[in-house]
Structure 1
Amino acid sequence: MAATEDTTDVDAALVRGRPLPSKSRPLDHELIVATAIAFIDEHGLPGLTMRRLGAMLDVEAMALYRYVSGKEELLDAVVERLVAGMQVDDEVPEAPSDGWQDFLQRLAHGVRRVALRHPKAFPLVASRPTEAPWLRPPLRSLDWVEAFLSGLTDEGFTDEAAVAGYRAFTSFLLGHLLLEVSTHGADVGPLDVLEDDADGSMSLAAFPTVRRLRPGLSEDHAAAEFEEALEELLGRLTLIRSEHVEA
């Protein structure tokens, strides 16, 4: 007989080491979202269904609908949890304390840590609808947009420069991090275009230069490239700030 909310196999749960519902931790919205993220981390986003999530929690899928209306609401909740993860990161300040450059550097690295912690779930941050069309991932929550814009204006940015900074900062983060998580197995659609065989030569016979330079192309310099691109971005924002200094 299928397991139900009242017939959870506690021994099996302990063996698997999963945070399944119990008398001390009953099924709730927070547990469902956390387990969905764990499922995506392990199996990838395409495999997530309400039935499989229920099986992971040792409950019938129907039991989940008491807490989430369906998969779409669940995915939105996953995104909210990922974005909120920066709020519990001690390295990410809520406002500038050592200058706006330090603030943006710490914020950028906080977003990157979220992406690296949950690479297979991170593309949802880019693909799920935002609260308003003018909100841009990955800084897509009103809390973080408010912190970003007020942080820059408090540091001498005009309104126009702060908006330009938000656009440039989010474009940099999203482009870089989607590319990076794709190397960690994330399903990012069009980026996954070339499947290799065992010796890495598949589809490269007609591209001798690519084949010759492939070892260099395959090297992982993500951290250094992130730092270099972030420094270049901060330089651009310095120019934007100076061009919009109020008289």
Structure 2
Amino acid sequence: MVSAADRAKNPTRTSVWLESGKPAGRARRSDQPASATSLDRDRIIAESVRLLDAEGPAKFSMRRLAGELGVTAMSLYWYVDTKDDLLELALDSVFGELRVPDVEGAGADADWRDQLRELAVSYRSVMVRHPWVSPLVGRYLNIGPNSMEFAAAAQKILSRSGLPAHGVTGGLSAVFQFVYGFGTIEGHFVARCAEAGVTQDEYFAQAMGALRERPGFHEAMDLAEELMEARGGDTVEEMRERDFVFALDILIAGIEAKRVR
């Protein structure tokens, strides 16, 4: 097993999923507090996700988590070696919320466009529900079982698109880096509105009103309002949904244009 100290010295090797024989939990030691016996790794991960959703990664700590679970911070280290290990486990846990299309058997004959849209929509929803996920995706290898199932499905779907083999990874990047960026901005906006105690529409109206009052923004605002009117949608969510769907359609059309005929 790779020690926490070794992984701290060489962060490129850091991944809880590369440890060999890591147990799901450890037997209770004679000096382990009785309150810790109700713990297991699944409960710790679930509470971590709840705290990350509520407060974000900046306030997340093993001490804070232990307090919510009613145990000592040291009790947690019977189940995970480091905070990084726990964040990586939490990250893969929420990837388990993804609706991964059936890409085997009967699902292998499904329209790749529909399956790609389904996976993209689901990925976006995870990014929005859990805004803390986006910075962790780039921080960790993200090679847990749920993440790998998602990646494998995406590869199989795009491999059926007709793209040449050397273009599949580029196609995946175009679609899912777009979804990552879109979902990240959307998730942070939703969280910002929640923190401010206003709806998305109220926040948007306040921001637009403030910009209209500044003379230097008049020209840009006139053009922006013309484009927003052409796009349609009565609410921020409706406008955002139209943008997402149209942008995804553009990317799929681009993939179709690059297919091997």
Report the TM-score when normalising by structure 1: 0.69
Match of 1:184 in 2: 190
1: CA distance between counterparts of 2:177 and 2:85? 26
Residue 163 of structure 1 corresponds to 169
Query: Is the CA contact (8 Å cut-off) linking 2:120 and 2:176 kept in structure 1?
Result: no
Q: Normalized per residue, which structure has more helix?
A: 2
For 2:158 and 2:220, the matched residues in 1 are separated by 45
Gaps of 5+ in 2: 1-31, 193-202, 229-234
Query: Which one-letter code corresponds to 2:167 in the other structure?
Result: A
Over residues 187-246 of structure 1, what are the superposed CA-to-partner deviations in whole Å (9 max), with x where a residue is unaligned? xxxxxxxxx9xx6549x8574428966x968944222211111111111111121xx34x
Instruction: Indicate which of 231, 236, 240 corresponds to 2:249.
Output: 231
In the alignment, is residue 123 of structure 1 matched against residue 134 of structure 2?
Answer: yes
User: Are the counterparts in 2 of residues 85 and 114 from structure 1 also a CA contact under 8 Å?
Assistant: yes
Structure-2 separation of matches of 1:98 and 1:129: 32
Distance in 2, Cα, partners of 1:210 & 1:222: 23
Q: Check whether the contact 1:116–1:181 (CA below 8 A) recurs between aligned residues.
A: yes
Which has the higher mean CA deviation after the structures are superposed, 120-129 or 46-55? Answer: 120-129
Q: Distance in 2 between matches of 1:234 and 1:57?
A: 45
Structure 1: gaps spanning 5 or more residues:
8-20, 133-139, 187-195
Q: Which residue of 1 aligns with 2:110?
A: 98
Residue 53 (structure 1) shift: 0.4
- C-alpha deviation, 1:178, in angstroms: 1.1
Give the Cα–Cα distance (whole angstroms) in 1 for the partners of residues 215 and 82 of structure 2.
47
Aligned 8 A contact 1:126 1:174 in 2: no
What is the Cα deviation at residue 141 of structure 1? 3.3
Percent identity between matched residues is 24
Cα distance in 2 between the residues matched to 1:84 and 1:210 = 46
Query: Is the 1:101–1:234 Cα contact (8 Å) retained in structure 2?
Result: yes
Q: Which moved more, 1:66-75 or 1:120-129?
A: 120-129
Q: What is the TM-score normalised by the length of structure 2?
A: 0.66
Change (3 A) 1:66 1:231: same
Structure 2 distance, partners of 1:207, 1:50, is: 48
